[in-house]
Amino acid sequence: MRIPIHKQLMWWGVAAVTLLLAMWLLGQAILPFILGAGVAYLLDPVADRLERSGLSRVMSVVVITVIAVLAFAGVVLLVVPIMLRQATSLIETAPEMIEQGRLFLSARFPELLPANGDIGTALTDLGAAMGEQMGTVASSLLSSVGGIISAIAILVIVPVVAFYLLLDWDHLVDRIDTLLPREHAPTLRRLSREIDEALSGFVRGQGLVILILGTWYSIGLMIVGLPFGFFIGIMAAMLSFIPYVGVLIGGATAIGVALFSFWGDPLWIGLVIAIFAIGQIVEGNYLQPKIVGHHVGLHPVWLLLALSVFGALFGFVGMVMAVPLAAALGVIGRFLTQRYQESALFTGQALPPDPGQPMLVEIVPEGTVASSIREARIRADQNRAQGQIEIMREEMSRRHPEPEA
């Protein structure tokens, strides 16, 4: 017997609430396992490609794990210290740069910034506040990042979880497929494929775009000689998943630092502007269309909303889960919208009743049935005529018996 739809919704709702409650209660305890599952999901296509090239699954996973661990160690040992050092120096220098900018504007445009004007006072207060809070911000930044990096449990558990999940990923997917409710299995498979396309298109595609832009911005600004250029370039690239935000924030910061450092030398200031202009042109005309393309189903505003909501509800775990959950909710939302547009609530017309059981009809060449009926009638007439002839012969035999010899 088919389970009513309201009961199905109730049970699936209970499962969803249970999952969210588990995320809220367990929190940091499940963070390494979520990160490990995410790493395995991202690296599974690489393992499949290595398998197609001739390696076994175990050897493919071992090669990927070794390369990933070495890359992560290189980032932690080389990139992170430079980022922290330049971020701290930028925070320390920011009040002085703001004050220099205020003095320059006051000297060149006195009518824009009068002595006791609101704008000048606001800039002075901003510089003073940044100077007072500089130590607190820097120490909290260092302590939080250092706490994440020094979390031995995460550094140990994540690679182990990713290794074993990556090793058995295809079997896990097949096992989950066998557990899907049979009535809704085709729809769930289609939704899963759409979620995978949206999520993989965003994470893998946008991650590659961030890597390319980060390399271009950081190396270009370092070659120009811009102070804090490495940190500004990486920051601008990481914010590029929101259209125009990365180039605006990174470009404004880089130009402000360039004006402070290269004042009187417009060539270097122009080179800084050119680096961000070229990066924006390449991103908009090549990287986004060619690498990310039509696979992205995550609108930047929707992604920011998901990061804010899930981060507020579940902390850092929620922020980690925000991207896949946003992809899933986006696909489910489009599916429900499509069903709504097909319903009587949208069209205003009653849906036709469900068709009954189909009638099985044997398909025969044209004229076959009529020919069979005609032949049957001819045979019946022949049998009836033959019967009448037999009766007449019996009557004649009785009336005119043959004489005895």
> What is the domain count for the chain?
2
Residues 80 and 124 in one domain: yes
Residue 65 falls inside a structural domain = yes
One domain for residues 161 and 37: yes
Domain assignment present for residue 178? The answer is: no
Within this chain, do residues 65 and 137 fall inside the same structural domain, yes or no?
Answer: yes
**164 and 192 share one domain:** no
Asked if residue 25 belongs to a domain, the reply is no
Looking at the fold, whether 40 and 159 belong to one and the same domain comes out as yes
pLDDT number for residue 145: 47
96 and 205, same domain (yes or no): no
DSSP one-letter code for 13: H
Question: Same domain for 43 and 76?
Answer: yes
106 is a domain residue: yes
Choosing from 229, 262, 297, the residue where a domain stops is 297
Q: What is the pLDDT of residue 128?
A: 54
Q: What is the per-residue pLDDT for 298?
A: 65
**Of all residues in the chain, what percent are helix, strand and coil, respectively (each to 5)?**
85, 0, 15
Dist. CA 69–CA 157, nearest whole Å: 13
Same domain, 267 and 151: no
Quote the radius of gyration of the chain (alpha carbons, Å). 38
Q: Where are the alpha helices (DSSP H) in 115-244?
A: 118-149, 152-167, 169-178, 185-200, 206-224, 229-238
Structural domain span for residue 208: 187-297
Tens-binned pLDDT, residue by residue, of the chain (405 aa): 566 777 777 887 888 888 878 877 876 778 788 888 888 988 998 999 999 998 899 999 999 999 988 988 888 888 888 888 888 888 888 777 777 777 766 776 666 555 555 555 555 555 555 555 545 544 554 445 445 544 566 777 888 899 999 999 989 988 988 888 887 888 889 988 888 888 887 787 888 888 999 999 999 999 998 888 899 999 988 888 777 778 888 888 888 888 888 877 888 889 999 999 998 888 888 887 777 665 555 677 777 888 888 888 877 777 777 878 888 888 888 888 888 888 777 777 765 665 555 665 556 566 566 677 778 888 888 888 888 888 787 777 777 666 554
Q: Per the domain annotation, does 263 fall within a domain?
A: yes
Q: Are 185 and 66 in contact (CB under 8 A)?
A: no
pLDDT of residue 19: 81
Is residue 350 one of the residues assigned to a domain?
no
Q: CB atoms < 10 A from the CB of 299, how many?
A: 11
- Name the domain boundary from 273, 297, 321: 297
Of the chain, the end-to-end C-alpha distance in Å amounts to 86
Last residue of a domain, one of 247, 277, 297: 297
Asked whether the beta carbons of 232 and 248 are under 8 A apart, the reply is: no
Residues 233 and 157 in one domain: no
Q: Are residues 56 and 92 in the same domain?
A: yes
Q: Positive or negative, the Cα torsion across 252, 255, 260, 261?
A: positive
pLDDT at 150: 46
Residue 393 falls inside a structural domain: no
- Asked if residue 14 belongs to a domain, the reply is no
Supply the pLDDT for residue 141: 47
Q: Are residues 243 and 281 in the same domain?
A: yes
- Residues 198 and 158 both lie in one domain: no
CA–CA distance, 201 with 222 (Å, rounded to integer): 31
* Backbone torsions φ then ψ of 114, nearest 5 degrees: -65, 165
